[in-house]
């Protein structure tokens, strides 16, 4: 059997640069070397592409430990120093003999349709969602509109444009008590890994949270804090996707933020979630509905808030390139469903080669 050459794309221009590297390290360890030849491609924060030598060295760097010890700023500086010291010339995609791409690029410039559009243009198949679904799901506000139209409950919220906040912050602040009840969450619309999210308990905390989020993104959501458990479902497939069992996150802090995920690692994961069977089935069904409504292919992780007492299921967000780190929910949910990490990588690559077809009814 001829080896298939896979371009493993990681790094990128988003605030989730380092998390992308950690995810790519996990994927690189689990892709079957008998079937696939992996060409690692590291994309710097300024958009330069590097392959093989320096990319391989970065995949071997224990960046997770560096983040825990010294923070993301130190990790970012270390990566810059490694690239400069390598003396390598940037990678040229055209003559590399790539058969398929496996983008592990969380956030902007990777999960938002831009890299997908580029790969479509150069006729390279790739894992995960296409341009439209990637762009749509990257925008939390638009995602909520689509799943709401599909009949799934969403958290009450207000969308704020960074430009409007800069021009008239007083007007925006005065409108919030009319619409929402504290506590609320302030989150950038286009970032993941809980980057830039703040929990606001009183009106006086809102200006700082909005200023922080607006500094990171052009659009910001202010959402009502929802009661219930944080539940995640892994979805895999194209025309006839499957949903994993529900996974539950019990945050180690006030909410499941960036530090809780990647630095302190104090959150507890429960697979399956501690929910009644009937309620779990409802959440799984809603995950598949959201996946189809947003036009997803390949994979996605769909997140909900579930109130066991009232039975309320509320859509939170969807991630089309979910985390693939050792602590990430998506590969753990797939593992619990009987799909081990190497098989998961293989299935995603095979799904990438399937032509788009109308869904079977």
User: Token digits for 74?
Assistant: 């130190």
- 3-class DSSP string for 93-141: CCCCCCCEEEEECCCCCCCCCHHHHHHHHCCCCECCCCHHHHHHHHCHH
CA angle 24, 304, 114 (to 5 degrees): 40
User: In the chain, what is the greatest distance between 2 CA atoms, to the nearest angstrom?
Assistant: 65
Structure tokens at 96: 């590399």
- Which stretches does DSSP call E strand in the chain? 4-11, 36-43, 49-51, 100-104, 153-154, 157-161, 184-188, 198-200, 219-224, 229-236, 242-243, 247-250, 268-270, 299-307, 312-319
Q: What is the DSSP letter of 204?
A: G
Which residue reads 């499941």 in tokens?
256
89 backbone dihedrals φ, ψ, rounded to 5°: -85, 150
Cis peptide before 272 (omega within 30 of 0): yes
C-alpha–C-alpha distance, residues 243 and 302, integer Å: 10
Half-sphere exposure of 314 toward its Cβ, with a 13 Å CA cutoff? 19
**3-class SS shares of the chain: helix, strand, coil, % to 5:** 40, 20, 40
Could you list the active site residues?
Answer: 16, 193, 262, 301, 303, 317, 319, 323
CA angle, 320 then 259 then 248, to 5°: 55
The SS3 call for residue 294 is: coil
């Amino acid at each position: 059997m001829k080896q298939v050459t896979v371009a493993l794309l990681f790094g990128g221009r988003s605030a989730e640069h380092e998390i992308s590297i950690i995810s790519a390290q996990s994927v690189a360890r689990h892709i079957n070397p008998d079937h696939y030849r992996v060409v690692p491609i590291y994309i710097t924060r300024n958009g330069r592409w590097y392959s093989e030598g320096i990319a391989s060295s970065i995949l071997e760097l224990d960046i997770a430990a560096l983040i825990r010890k010294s923070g993301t700023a130190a990790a970012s500086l270390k990566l810059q120093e490694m690239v400069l010291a390598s003396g390598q010339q940037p990678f040229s995609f055209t003559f590399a003999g790539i058969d398929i791409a496996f983008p592990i690029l969380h956030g902007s410039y990777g999960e938002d349709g831009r890299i997908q559009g580029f790969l479509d243009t150069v006729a390279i198949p790739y894992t995960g969602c296409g341009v439209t679904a990637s762009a749509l799901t990257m925008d939390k506000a638009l995602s909520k509109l689509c799943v709401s139209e599909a009949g799934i409950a969403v958290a009450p919220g207000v969308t704020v444009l960074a430009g409007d906040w800069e021009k008239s912050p007083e007007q925006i602040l005065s409108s919030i008590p009319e619409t929402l009840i504290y506590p609320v969450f302030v989150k950038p619309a286009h970032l993941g890994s809980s980057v830039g999210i703040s929990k606001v308990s009183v009106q006086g905390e809102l200006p700082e949270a909005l200023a922080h989020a607006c500094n990171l993104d052009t659009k910001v959501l202010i959402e009502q804090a929802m009661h219930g458990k944080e539940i995640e479902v892994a979805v895999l497939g194209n025309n006839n996707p499957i949903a994993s069992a529900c996974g539950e996150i019990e945050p180690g802090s006030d909410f499941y933020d960036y530090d809780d995920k990647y630095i302190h690692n104090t959150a507890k994961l429960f697979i399956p979630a501690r929910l009644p069977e009937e309620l779990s089935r409802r959440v799984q069904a809603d995950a598949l509905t959201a996946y189809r409504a947003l036009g997803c292919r390949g994979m996605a992780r769909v997140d909900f808030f579930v109130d066991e007492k009232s039975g309320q299921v509320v859509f939170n967000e969807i991630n089309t390139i979910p985390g693939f780190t050792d602590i990430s929910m998506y590969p753990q949910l797939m593992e619990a469903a009987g799909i081990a990490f190497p098989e998961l990588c293989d299935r995603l690559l095979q799904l990438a080669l399937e032509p788009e077809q109308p869904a079977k009814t």
